[in-house]
Structure 1
C-alpha cells in the first residue's frame, strides 16, 4: 500500500483532508462577569471569550468546522499549538477521527495530553465530526444515535454574582416566561448567608417545583461545602455544582454521600483520565464534561460511555451548540446549559420550547460561522491547499 501524506492507501480510504484553516477570534461580552473566583481574588472579571475555529475541506469537497474556547488567558496559546500540529491533518482520511485524534495528541505530547494541548485539538476534532455528519446528511445527534430530539435546558448567564439580586430575579422571571427548563445561580460569596438569601429569593419567585441549581465555582473548602450544602437541602435544588476544587475527587465523594442534593462537577477537567477519577470514586451525581476542554467529541464520547455504565446523569458545560447533540445521544435524561454568549458567532439560533432545547434538523452541528465572528478574528493560519 502506498502512503499519501497520512493513512496508507487502501480500498476503504474514501477521501483525504486537503485544507485546514485555523482562526483566533475574541468575543466581547456585553458587561464584565464575576463568579466566586473573582470574589476570592483568584481571577479578574470576565470580559471576553477567546474562540479557536477550525475549518476543514477534503479533496472530494466535504466541509466541516468546529471550535473550542478559552476564558481569560489561553486563547493565543491554543491557537499557537493548533497551528503547530495542524499540518498533521493533511492527507488523512477525515472519517478516521479516533486515529487522527491520537496522531494529533502524540504530535504535541511533550507538552502533555490534557490542558491547552487537548483544547487546541478539540476544535479540529469537532470539525471532523461536523464533516462526517454533513457527509451523511445527518444532524450530528442522529449520526451518533439520538435518544431524544429535545433536551432539558437550564440557563446560567442570568445568575452571576456581578448581578444584584433584583436583576437576577428579573432575569429568572424572563427566562421562565421564555420557556427555559431551569436556572442556575452563582454562590460562593465570603458570607454564605448572602448566598442563602439569594437562593431563597430565587426559589420563592420561581416556586417549589421549578428546577434551580447553584454553582460555587470551586471556592468552598470541605467544611464550608458540607455546612452550606446541608443548609441548602430545604431548597430542593437539582444540584450543587463545583462545591470543591475540581481535582478533589475524594472530597466530592464524601459530599455526594452525605447530601441528598445531587453533586455536579467536571467542567474544568481536560482529559478522560481526570473524569475517570470522578466516576470511579463516586464523586458526582451529574458529570459535566466539556467537549471543548477534553479534546473534542472523540474524548467526550469515552467519558459518556463510562458515565452511563456507572449510572450517572450528565450536564455538559457551556457550548450548547455542540453539547445539545451530545446530550441528545446520551442514554440517560441529561441537561444542556443554555448560554446565549456565543450566539453572535453563528448565523443560526437554537430554539426553546416547554423547558427543552430542540435539536436542529440541519446536517452536522447545524451552524455556519457569522460575518461578525470573521470581524472579531485577530489571527489565522492555513495548511494544505483548498481544492
Structure 2
C-alpha cells in the first residue's frame, strides 16, 4: 500500500449564533484527503479527516510541515507488518523535529491528518472504524449502542426563550432525551430563565447540561454554581479557562454538581495536568477530550491510559465534537457517550443521515471507514476535492 497524494482544503462550517466567548460566523475547519494506490470498484481508495469543530482551519501547518514529511518518507516506513498504512508510524514521521509543548493549532493539524489515516486504514481492511478499534484495543468488544446528547442552545439575536424552547422540542422530536445549552453570554438572572425554559421542555433538570465555554472568573463561576446547585443539572461545563486548574479545583470544592471539561485540552501531557491538579472527581465528573483536536488517536490513547492510572473509567469520557469520528471512538473503545450537533456546524454536525436516535442513543453504521459517505451533503463536498 502506498500514499499517492495528500490534499487539504478549508471547509466552511459557519453556524448561526454564539456562545459566551465567540461568534461562529465564517468558521472553517481543515479537511484532509489521503489517496492510496489501492483501487476498489475502479476508484482509488481514499481516507478523509478534519480538524473537528470549533477551531479554525490549519492548512498552513499541514501544507508546510506535516504533509511534506509523510510524502517524503520511504513508503515502507509508513506501513504495518501486513503492508497496510500504519497511523502510528505515520504519526511519528509527521511529528519528526517537533519540539515538546505548544499544544495548540499543531494538535488540530495532526488530528485532521490522523483521522484521514484511520479512515483509510479501516477502508483498506473493509470494516467500520469502530469495529477496527474494538478489535485492536478492546479484544473485539464494541458497544452496540452509544448514548448521545444534543448540543445547542446558542445565543441568537433575539434571546427569545420561545426560540430556545422550540429548539429543545426539535431535539426531543428527533429522539434525544438530553441536551446542552450555553450560559455566560448573558447575566445570571437571564441565564437562569434560559435554563428553566429548557428544563420545561426536556422534562427533568438531570436531562440538561450547561456550558460556559471558559468565560468565567472564579467569583462568577462560583455564583453560577450556587444558583444551579439546587436544580441538580446533568453537568456544569468549562466554567473557566481550560488551563486554569486551580479555578476548576476550587469550583469542585464548592459544588456537588457534576463538572465537565477537557474539550480544549490538546495533548496527553495537558490531560495529565488536568487529572493531577484540577480537582475533578472520578465518581461524577465528565471528561470531553476530542481526538480531532488533540494530535489524533496515538496521543488520545495515551490520555485514556492516564485516566486509568488516576482512577478514572473510560466511561467518564463523552467526546466533544458532535461528529462521526468521536462516535466511532465511543463505540469501539467503550467511552461513555458522545456529543451531537443535530442543528449546527453543517455539513459536519450530526451523524449519518440514516442513523436513528432512539431513546437518546444510536446504533453504529456498517460502512467501511468513519462513514463520511453516509452524509450526502458532506460527501458531495468531499468528492469535489
- Relative to the length of structure 1, the TM-score reads 0.82
| Cα pair distance change 1:364/1:219, threshold 3 Å | same
Query: Which residue among 326, 329, 334 is the counterpart of 2:332?
Result: 329
Query: Which residue among 3, 19, 33 is the counterpart of 2:17?
Result: 33
Query: Which residue among 39, 47, 70 is the counterpart of 1:64?
Result: 47
Q: Secondary structure at the match of 1:357?
A: strand
- In structure 1, the residue matched to 2:25 is 46
Could you tell me how far apart the structure 1 residues matched to 2:252 and 2:263 are? 17
Could you tell me how far apart the structure 1 residues matched to 2:52 and 2:201 are? 34
Query: Which residue among 109, 112, 121 is the counterpart of 2:110?
Result: 121
Q: CA deviation at 1:57?
A: 0.9
Could you tell me how far apart the structure 1 residues matched to 2:205 and 2:194 are? 17
- In structure 1, the residue matched to 2:137 is none
Residue 192, structure 1, aligned to residue 192, structure 2: no
Let me know the Cα RMSD of the aligned residues: 2.7
| Cα pair distance change 1:371/1:273, threshold 3 Å | same
Q: CA deviation at 1:83?
A: 4.1
- In structure 2, the residue matched to 1:286 is 286
- In structure 2, the residue matched to 1:220 is 216
Q: CA deviation at 1:139?
A: 1.6
Q: Within 5 Å, give how 1:33-112 maps onto structure 2.
A: 33-38=17-22, 44-58=23-37, 63-69=46-52, 71=54, 73-81=56-64, 82-88=66-72, 91=75, 92-93=78-79, 94-107=84-97, 109=98
Q: Secondary structure at the match of 2:289?
A: coil
Could you tell me how far apart the structure 2 residues matched to 1:290 and 1:201 are? 29
CA deviation vs aligned residue, 1:178-223 (integer Å, no higher than 9, x gap): 1013110000135211111110121123222651000001001112
Q: Secondary structure at the match of 1:33?
A: coil
Q: Is the 8 A contact 1:275 1:303 kept in 2?
A: yes
Query: Which residue among 134, 143, 161 is the counterpart of 2:155?
Result: 161
Q: Is the 8 A contact 1:327 1:336 kept in 2?
A: no
Gaps of 5+ in 1: 1-15, 39-43, 378-387
Q: CA deviation at 1:308?
A: 4.2
Residue 301, structure 1, aligned to residue 301, structure 2: yes
Could you tell me how far apart the structure 2 residues matched to 1:75 and 1:164 are? 35
Q: Is the 8 A contact 2:21 2:185 kept in 1?
A: no
Q: CA deviation at 1:335?
A: 3.4
Q: Is the 8 A contact 1:69 1:75 kept in 2?
A: no
| Cα pair distance change 1:326/1:27, threshold 3 Å | same
Gaps of 5+ in 2: 135-140
Which of 197-206 and 59-68 deviates more?
59-68
Residue 363, structure 1, aligned to residue 368, structure 2: yes
Could you tell me how far apart the structure 2 residues matched to 1:287 and 1:72 are? 19
- In structure 2, the residue matched to 1:245 is 241
| Cα pair distance change 1:189/1:122, threshold 3 Å | closer
Q: Is the 8 A contact 1:181 1:354 kept in 2?
A: yes
Could you tell me how far apart the structure 2 residues matched to 1:63 and 1:26 are? 18
CA deviation vs aligned residue, 1:67-106 (integer Å, no higher than 9, x gap): 2246464444344344443424561215432232122112
Query: Which residue among 310, 318, 323 is the counterpart of 1:320?
Result: 323
Q: CA deviation at 1:291?
A: 1.2
Aligned residues: 353
